[in-house]
Structure 1
Amino acid sequence: MRSLGVIVEYNPFHNGHMFHLEQSKQTTEADVVIAVMSGQFLQRGEPALVSKWTRTKMALVNGIDIVVELPYAFATQKAEIFASGSISILSGLNCDTVCFGSEQGNIQDFENTVALMKAKKNDYDHLVQKYSQQGYSFPKASSLAFKELTQTEQVLDLTQPNNILGYHYVKAIHEQESSLQAFTVERTNAGYHDPKFNDTSIASATSIRKALFENNGNIEKVQHYVPEGTYQLLSHYQKSASGFHCWEDYFKLLKYRVLCSTPSDLAEIYEVEEGLEYRLQQSMKESKTFQEFMTLLKTKRYTWTRLQRMCTHLLTNTKKEIMVSTSANKKSEYIRLLGMSQKGQAYLKQIKKDVGLPLLSKVSSMDNKMLDMDIRATNTYAMKFAEPARSEWMQLEYTRPPIRYDEEALKFLN
């Protein structure tokens, strides 16, 4: 079977994702589709709208055959590390192709840019350092360095979020000497972070989440922008979990964590740098909501996304030493299976002897520091709920087997 890999968050799975999936299948002529999906916390430093188990179901009912989890050590990181961890998992599953959405829509532009930046790496690093010393955030310094270095070259527009991720996917394939063949499809209609609905059927995940929170979780407001399977799963989750997840659900815990820690304790947390521990405590004392806190915390030097990721690491007590050591080689140490269709199960059986990483169906089967972070993330995510639901959610991490889906009968088997 020819396999296709997609790297996703599905927060939630919407019509734009369906378009990308259908185009990717057509472009690569794939028989089976593998999704590497972020867990309970996401790359922009946010709790997922619904749990990884519900998002796994969304993926399966909408045409994905295998869903595996991108570990917390990569899922909550900047683009380069996020991409490298994802590519290592697809390579470990002997995937033939990977296809990502981009604003560029031409894979050769990505290949050319990766080759150019490899040749000019020293010059690029020097320019990034120069702009960082001028007070720019790392993403802005990187963007300015890239622009200066490539003024006369035909290269990617790396101010666009999907182009940035795509660039790092292709770069990771080269660095890891992976046999993956990369493809890209051009994104259509809604932009990655568009906050409003601009089309009758395609909207960004950002605008869908915004509409849900601004309308007290009224899912009818987003019905035209998501497939029916997503709509039904959102409806069920809203009822069973008493609403969707957002940062305000965890602000009380974050406030306790920041104000009941010493500055030296805070400084041990990943991404707390350059005296931010003092700014964290001062801003928290003056804040009544997460939004208020972030507005006070924000500076020119640090992007909102970077600060949200830092807050996620504070919430999960993720220390620099552990995060750096587990993600140092930019490769996952295992593959956590979340769900599969019958076709996906057949593919796994076919490649079982050649899988390049330990394949886990339950977390209790392995003792690993990277995996410990995933468990801690789920424990934190469950804090939204009251007891006994909270403890029951935590136990799911150990007891729940991968979700099985019968794509012909259109039903879940467990």
Structure 2
Amino acid sequence: MLKLPVYLDYNATTPCDPRVVEAMLPFFTEHFGNAASRSHAPGLYAHAAVDLAREQVAGLIGAEPQEVHFTSGATEANNLALKGVAEAYASKGRHIITCVTEHKAVLDACQHLAHTGHDITYLPVNQEGAIDLAALEAAIRPDTILISLMYANNETGVVHPVDAISKIARKHGVLFMCDASQAVGKIPVNVNTDGIDILTCSAHKLYGPKGMGAIYLRRKSPRVRVIAQIDGGGHERGVRSGTLNVPGIVGFGKACELAAHQLNTENIVQLRDQLESGLLDIPGTNVNGLPFAAAGTPTPGQPASPGKRLPHVTNISFAGVTGEAIMMATGKSIAVSSGSACTSASREPSYVLKAMGVPDELSHGSLRFSLGRFTTEEEIQFAVSAIRTAVAQLRSLQPFSSI
């Protein structure tokens, strides 16, 4: 039986996998020791559990366990990376390169650094949300200390050419940081083959608990240094002080272990394409993050052509209506987003879509659909039908002349 609401907002957060919850539960009551208290059995047991989780997280991204440091989430990890590198490498330079479509956790941290005397270069993107690699290389200066570019965009699913970016960074001796919150656990990510020096990720994006994240810091070739942003005890090898959230860390580790064995994306791609095909059958629709068809919209009834996107995400504009109106019209039957979870409360057009050249009207009429481990074909069929009905009803109230 179909359970409502149909949840298609996995980029905002994912439900904890029951196996993750099962792994966490004993550490709330039975094994409640402080991982830093190694003078007795309860503390040693907690410490061992944290070590195992560190291995599990490292295993998913191809890192060494000692290169993984736990945080309260990707937002804290991004702040630690950007501000920590800025302090550690201040004698080398104060220039950082990023992109206009980065997550707010990166953009706001960069804005803070700009206020403290750092010079930030914001790379533009094209209509498909891609950066120009030549422009990236041209932006590098003798005082550039960091390139911070996400693995995949949270609103459109557009995947950056991480390998090519890392080669440019290495060529010029600049550190490469990658916010991989939307990619880790969804597609293969390997810090060594991808050439990433600093990586951030979050547990709740891959069926783990909220309030848990991690930062990867390369230990050699090059060895990355950051100045801690939270002091008080020297936990996490001096990178991030504070009593470790053992249940959350255990859950994060278990989620990574499960994800490592569930990276086959064939089924979710089929469901995503089925969703796109059904919605693109509506006149005046377009997938944001893919090339526009010659006539301005994809052929009705056909799934969008393959692009460099995450396999579970599509961002679609509906001309003549607003995404907010569609969400209201579908009532409580579908859970989707009109942007990232951090910005969807704003009535301003998506800054990501705006940077891609999407007109404000179409940006306001865009919805992000993100599928997940528990999405079913029945849910996709229901969502397509409900949104088709909602768009038709809304357009009938305010006829759109060009459709």
- Normalising by structure 1, report the TM-score: 0.29
The structure whose residues are more often helix, as a share, is 1
